[in-house]
Structure 1
Amino acid sequence: MTKKMKMTINEEKGRLDKVLADHLKQFTRSQIQHWIKEEYVTVNGQPEKGNYKVKNGDVVEAIEPEVVPLEILAEDIPLEIVYEDEAVLVVNKPQGMVVHPSAGHLTGTLVNALMYHVKDLSGINGVIRPGIVHRIDKDTSGLLMVAKNDQAHEMLAEQLKEKTSLRRYVALVHGHILHEKGTIDAPIGRSKEDRKKQGIIDDGKPAVTHFKVLERFNEYTLVELELETGRTHQIRVHMKYIGFPIAGDPTYGPRKTLAGKGQFLHAKVLGFKHPTSGDFLTFEAPLPEIFEKTLAELRENG
């Protein structure tokens, strides 16, 4: 059952997340920050960011979302483990697999498979996301790093934050990109028109994507993309923003496109500093069969 909490700012000062945490001591600050991010918190009826500075007279309302207990089951699902040692593993996720369980996907996820194949996983992200340091979308294929203990998780997550890890993708996009390479620097946030989508938002989070043209076809371009940041749907949103949406993308691209099971986007190269040895490891995964077949057909047709 959800619970609504309401307060009026009188003498309180500072950030919204800190002020709420001071008043709602039964909850952690990270819980409150999650509520703010998911817009369970409003100020004067409008959602605000955690760093919003509260003012006298502000009416703050917070809704404690109902917690639905999830039982995460280990499942014997085939899993392509590219690398594994005592601290980390790298998996090549197939297109169509969700990374972690949620209300709509309780089984068949990468986490369900990991729990069957791997004895130890980090617990920093809780029972729903054991070992998961970063994600890729359901219909994006490719490489993910997974932490087997909390120390490894923290070190890998820090590399993502400090932009020292390597994440390189290959995508097939609509249109003919004339430039050989470029950089897209545009902030991303939840779309104000459609809350299920992300979009380029003035007050969104900084997002930077670098691209390089690999091959051109009549109506499509094959590109390599490197992430400097890791926002939700970043590549998909950025490519749509510059007028070259990813082929097969049901959310951000044209509905009628090449035959496939989702966007033609593959996390091909992954590199990171090993949390124990300190060595920089780099891994590469070949394009999925449907991707290679589509490229062959495009080359044949000119």
Structure 2
Amino acid sequence: MLATITAVFNWLAERLRDFLMWPINLIRDFPVRSGRLLVTLWRGLRAIVFFTPELVNAQRKQNLHSWSRYKAGRFFDWWHQLLTQLFDLLGGPELGEFLMHLVTNTTPLTPKEIHMIAAVLGENAMRFGDIRVVEGGLFDLVFKLNGNLAFATWHSINLPRKKTHQGSHTRANLPIVVHELTHVYQYEKVGTRYLGEAVYMLIKTKRDCYNYGGIAGLKNACAAGICYRDFNREQQAKITQDYFYYCQHNIDVAAFEPFIAQVRAGEL
């Protein structure tokens, strides 16, 4: 009986916390979120100003088809960033988490988990106290439908409670926790756009978007001048996941170091 009462109290306390995070972050994150939006609006204005000269130049070089495809991609990317940044500015992430957490259970990161991710991304990489681990409730159905694959939404890492034959994306699997916390780091650095970019790559590649080439791939990427930000969002998270795993098993991580330095510097 006491355990049930304690569980209910903890659940209510977590929901109150979720509710209060909306006005808190609306104010606390306003400078960063509004700054991102202004940069995006400025990019749009510049694109309008230079559109006609670029069009004329593309026609002159008989490169109109390639230029049009490039500009269309840039246009849709711009719209995606604009919409997600407006969503962030209005506190959409906090409202989304509040609603999602109503049907599940949440707990904060443990000191061990904070120490673990801090060793990879840096001691002050994220607002660790804002992060919640989501397990159980109606999310059991979600994981049944998605093949028990963990995923991250804003400041939440959503993990299956049970290990199955399809995978072990549970809280006990620390490399997976590092992977999902990297997505939280992406959110703090670039906003909700990380989520759309990750989902786009998952759909485009039919979930075949994690492979960055391993150690050999990182060496080749470094030699070619490719940076951490040039990898897609899932590859970025897989790099930090593997870096943590290799460190835990005393495997040489020299090939990872240039990219880990970039991610710690927030170069996403």
| Shared fold, TM over 0.5 | no
Q: Shorter-chain TM-score: what band?
A: under 0.3
Question: Bigger relative contact order, structure 1 or 2, given CA contacts below 8 A and separation 6+?
Answer: 2
Report the structure, 1 or 2, having the larger strand content. Answer: 1
Report the structure, 1 or 2, having the larger helix content. Answer: 2
Q: Please report the TM-score for the alignment, with normalisation by the length of structure 2.
A: 0.26
Q: Please report the TM-score for the alignment, with normalisation by the length of structure 1.
A: 0.24
